[in-house]
Copies of this chain bind each other. A is one copy, B any other.
Amino acid sequence: MSIVDLLLGRRLASDQARGEQIGASAGIPIFGLDALSSAAYGPEAALTLLIPLGLAGIGYIVPISLTIVVLLTIVYFSYRQTIQAYPGGGGSYTVARQNLGASAGLLAAAALMIDYTLVVAVGISAGVGALVSVVPSLQPETLPLCLGILLVITWVNLRGLREAGLIFMAPTYLFVGSLLVAIGIGVVKALAAGGHPVALVAPPRPGIASVGPNPWLLLQAFASGCTAMTGVEAVANGVKAFREPVISTARRTLTIIIAILIVLLAGIAYLIRAYGIGATAPGEPGYQSVLSMLFAAVVGKGLFYYISMASILMVLALSANTAFADFPRLCRAIAQNNYLPHAFGTRGRRLVYTEGIWVLAVLAGFLLILFGGVTDRLIPLFAVGAFLAFTLSQAGMVAHWRRLGGPGATRSIIVNGIGAVATGITVVVVLSAKFVEGAWVTMLLIPALLIVMVYVRRHYHNVFLETRCATPLDVTNLTAPLVVLPVQNWNQIVKKSLRFALKISSEIRVVHVNTGEKTEILREEWKRFVEEPTQQAGVAIPELIILPSPYRLILSPIVDYVLNVERTCPDQQIAVLVPELVEKHWYHYLLHNKRGSILKALLLLRGNRRIVLINVPWYLES
């Protein structure tokens, strides 16, 4: 078993793809981690913006959360329909492209690609941030920790989708389980106490209100809370990864994810109000996360509290995994339409789209390094992309049903139509609420990415036009090529190359660059070792051509000669024979000149379609 096998797992045959398919229980950690983990920061993001309202602000978390839950329900029903309509994988890109045209598809694709990259960076740095707030001594190691987690996630994903699901299952279910238990206990206590339970560990009292409630502030709180919805698209995009029957497996997975998320969001909102938990300002002394205060209030700071906190840290850090599952699939779909390099479509040893995983890891790593592992400032950027993709996808589905018609079409149009309008409005709200804070960056990145994609497509198209061929092989006029062989002195390598030249052609020009040393010796050897035997055997006599070189250049005269011969022989192809010493050890590299390789490179660079390179290797035995 090689080291690569050990690291990345045995290579899987193409027909083993079935064994890599997943059911709902593995699908939830793989495609749901992103959505579910957002329960840990969505409500907090909204609540933080309500701090200026003091105690009165806490009450608003319930209507804001309910709005998000309603939106989530709408999106859920839309994506259920999408899964059925696109069992081959119905990401926003595919749906928008097929129903609204290529431009809409690319817009969705660009938005999603940016969104996923941000999700990876922000998720990992949020997890590490939470860890650091518990163990402050790790503060200086923030960036190495982030990069370490990124490396682990990348590595696990390179080992294949199924293994990633298995590995991330435990923390995901621990997270969901402990949150559900805490919410259950809290709700029972609250109901038993008539809506005013007594906290086991009392949360800090909210500050005094500095402003009154106003629509703009509430809108901003809503926009921040919407980050809880990113990642919902993943299941619809990854349908093909599921086990047969794919549609119902994928739907079941989506249903479970959304149902859990709704319970979590609603429960957290209810308990926040019941226990009167206000957010504390992040980055200031005495900061505590909302979930930490909530757990302490409901169950006290016991073992359960610490286990739950640990699961939250892990799930936040691992939420990046959803992007790793989906980004490569998205890139592959785009590459299949020639908008991205074809390499994104190649499946690696474990049947995952390796290039996409690497590109995502590098981009996210770059962001993490750029921001030193603290990516709070990136958060405003990433709801825009997600909601833009939602809207395009829903609008695409409306067009899909209108085109398809049939009995259930009207109902479906209404479901997707509501989804499109609701998410469309949310895009506008998020964009305007977060524009100054950073959403404008996304608005610049999307068109830049679009330009690149259009350019890539045009290039591929041009290459296709140039190389396509629907005509048969032309078998007339098969004159052997004129062979040019550069030579310094007479030796075994030259002898072998010359023999090869005689095998393929009868017109051979051996060129020697005169740098003042070995020319006369070569002339004599040539007469004795080449001219005489060829003459006697009656085969074609190779011609020796001596090129002057006053400036001690070796390669330029040869290249010039070849180009000149090409111009003067319109009927024959030119084959340049390049003998080359192949070293057995890398440290021999410095001992021999690289003239062979450089000559090959020069001829490729300055040559044309009529010049062919023949490389005769000579392997050193010693």
Contacts and interface: CB of A to CB of B under 8 A. Distances in A.
A612 B500 contact: yes
Interface in A1-55: 11-15
A614 B614 contact: yes
B612 A478 contact: no
A553 to B, nearest CB: 9
Main secondary structure of the interface of A (DSSP, over half): mixed
A495 B480 contact: no
A116 to B, nearest CB: 20
A499 B474 contact: yes
A371 interface: no
Interface in A486-508: 490-496, 498-500, 502-505
A504 B616 CA distance: 15
Nearest to A600: B615
A84 interface: no
A462 interface: yes
Interface in A520-575: 528-530, 532-534, 537, 539, 550-552, 573, 575
Contacts of A532: 472
Contacts of A498: 473
A621 B551 CA distance: 34
Given A467-B492, A611-B617, A573 B480 contact: no
A619 interface: yes
Contact of A475 (B481, B502, B590): B502
Interface in A587-608: 588, 590-593, 600, 604, 607-608
A349 interface: yes
A575 to B, nearest CB: 8
Given A14-B552, A480-B504, A591-B460, A618 B614 contact: no
B593 A537 contact: no
Nearest to A607: B617
Given A478-B499, A615-B600, A618-B609, A456 B591 contact: yes
Contact of A622 (B342, B462, B493, B611): B462
A472 B530 contact: yes
A468 interface: yes
A476 interface: yes
Contacts of A493: 467
Interface string A399-435: 0000000000000000000000000000000000000
Given A469-B495, A617-B604, A500 B573 contact: yes
Given A459-B588, A612-B616, A534 B480 contact: no
Interface residues of A, number: 84
Contact of A473 (B13, B15, B530, B614): B530
Q: Which of A11, A607, A608, A616 has the most CB of B within 10 A?
A: A616
Interface in A99-116: none
Contacts of A504: 480-481, 503-505, 575
A85 interface: no
A160 B340 CA distance: 50
A448 to B, nearest CB: 15
A206 interface: no
Contacts of A469: 490-492, 494-495, 529
Contact of A341 (B496, B500, B591): B591
Given A575-B614, A614-B615, 10 more contacts: A12-B551, A342-B593, A473-B529, A480-B503, A480-B504, A504-B504, A504-B505, A580-B604, A613-B615, A615-B615
16 contacts: A14-B552, A347-B552, A462-B622, A466-B492, A466-B621, A469-B491, A472-B528, A474-B533, A475-B534, A476-B537, A478-B499, A478-B539, A500-B612, A503-B504, A504-B575, A613-B614
Interface of A: 11-15, 341-343, 346-347, 349, 456, 459-460, 462-463, 466-469, 471-476, 478-481, 490-496, 498-500, 502-505, 515-516, 528-530, 532-534, 537, 539, 550-552, 573, 575, 580-582, 588, 590-593, 600, 604, 607-609, 611-622
